Amino acid sequence: MSSWIRQSFASLRALIGAARCYRPFWFFSLGLFAIDLFWIGYFVIAKGRYELGYGPSLYFHKEMLLTTDGGHPELFGYAQTLLLVVLFVRLLRWTRQPIYLVLGLIFLVVLLDDALQLHEVAGVYLSEELGLPKLFGVRRRDVGEVVAYGILGAVTLPLLVYGLFRSRAEHRGNGLAFMIPLGGLAFCAIGVDLVYRMLKDLFKAAGVLIDAIEDGGELVTITLGCLLALGALRLYRPQAAPADRSSPPSGSASADR
């Protein structure tokens, strides 16, 4: 296990280094991170001012808030996730390694789940059908969402293991590196969401900070995934075939008279 952890961080550094060596990819990724920070900063300032009683003017622009369904930050996150899926498709075409197929499918499921609110619907259904109780102040539907995530994980984990072991060592290391943003995304979507339900009333504006960590963290982890995928594209881009110098260019040779 420790060797896998070392391999994941070594591949993480290699992929980031590859992206840094190509300015268009690097500055594009920095731009994505800057937009993430803008959405997070706007939310903290707008809702923080509202919660502390300094005025609701910024907070009334709901489309600018991280927590608004269909708001600008959420649509930006969808666009990033779709970009990441497209990058995995390109990597699969270039390398023919199964890990990129599996990762592309996982992030496609993430996109569809978020856009269609599948885990919320499943959470309500499971909480009613299974009669799930409240736990530690967490709503029954939230417990149902955790169960839904568990079922999804039970399906995707074997695929992930298959993709890792069927890929060559170098690409297996890349797959382990992508576990870092994927794990961060799961932590924000599941762990921080549960913490929010339990601690949102702990102190004034606690919910603001936890919301920023949850929804802002999801944006940042997706951006990290895009950065790593761009680095992989830089490493594995097809090389132009060298010119065949064994034969003269067409028309340059004449018959010996």
Report how far residue 39's alpha carbon sits from residue 207's, in angstroms, rounded to the nearest whole number. Answer: 16
Q: Which of 48-57, 175-184, 196-205 has the lowest mean pLDDT?
A: 196-205
pLDDT of 55 > 50? The answer is yes
CA angle 115, 92, 79 (to 5 degrees): 25
CA angle 74, 76, 79 (to 5 degrees): 115
Both tokens of 201, joined, read: 């009333």
Cβ 12 vs Cβ 228: under 8 Å: yes
Q: What is the pLDDT of residue 5?
A: 85
φ, ψ (nearest 5 deg) of residue 121: -65, -45
Q: What is the pLDDT of residue 202?
A: 65
Cβ 194 vs Cβ 142: under 8 Å: yes
Q: pLDDT per residue over 133-174, tens digit each?
A: 777 667 777 777 888 888 888 889 999 999 999 999 999 999
Average pLDDT, the chain: 86
69/131: higher pLDDT = 69
pLDDT of 252 > 70? The answer is no
* Domain boundaries of the chain, sorted by first residue: 7-236
Report how far residue 99's alpha carbon sits from residue 189's, in angstroms, rounded to the nearest whole number. Answer: 23
Helix or strand run (H / E) with residue 48: helix 23-51
Cβ 99 vs Cβ 175: under 8 Å: yes
- In 3D space, the residue among 214, 185, 183 whose CA is nearest the CA of residue 198 turns out to be 214
Report how far residue 244's alpha carbon sits from residue 168's, in angstroms, rounded to the nearest whole number. Answer: 30
Q: What's the whole-number mean pLDDT along residues 48-62?
A: 78
Q: What is the DSSP letter of 137?
A: T
Q: Which of 9-23, 76-90, 101-115, 203-217 has the lowest mean pLDDT?
A: 203-217
Q: What is the pLDDT of residue 200?
A: 65
Q: Which of 106-110, 132-136, 216-220 has the lowest mean pLDDT?
A: 132-136
Q: Which of 39-53, 59-73, 127-141, 185-199 has the lowest mean pLDDT?
A: 127-141
Q: What's the whole-number mean pLDDT along residues 107-125?
A: 86
Cβ 238 vs Cβ 25: under 8 Å: no
Report how far residue 93's alpha carbon sits from residue 108's, in angstroms, rounded to the nearest whole number. Answer: 17
Instruction: List Cβ neighbours of 47 (8 Å cut-off, separation of 6 or more).
Output: 59, 65, 205, 208, 211
Q: What's the whole-number mean pLDDT along residues 82-97?
A: 96
Cβ 213 vs Cβ 192: under 8 Å: yes
Q: What's the whole-number mean pLDDT along residues 76-88?
A: 97
pLDDT of 1 > 70? The answer is no
202/99: higher pLDDT = 99
Q: What is the pLDDT of residue 201?
A: 64
- In 3D space, the residue among 70, 33, 78, 69 whose CA is nearest the CA of residue 217 turns out to be 33
Q: What is the pLDDT of residue 29?
A: 97
61/166: higher pLDDT = 166
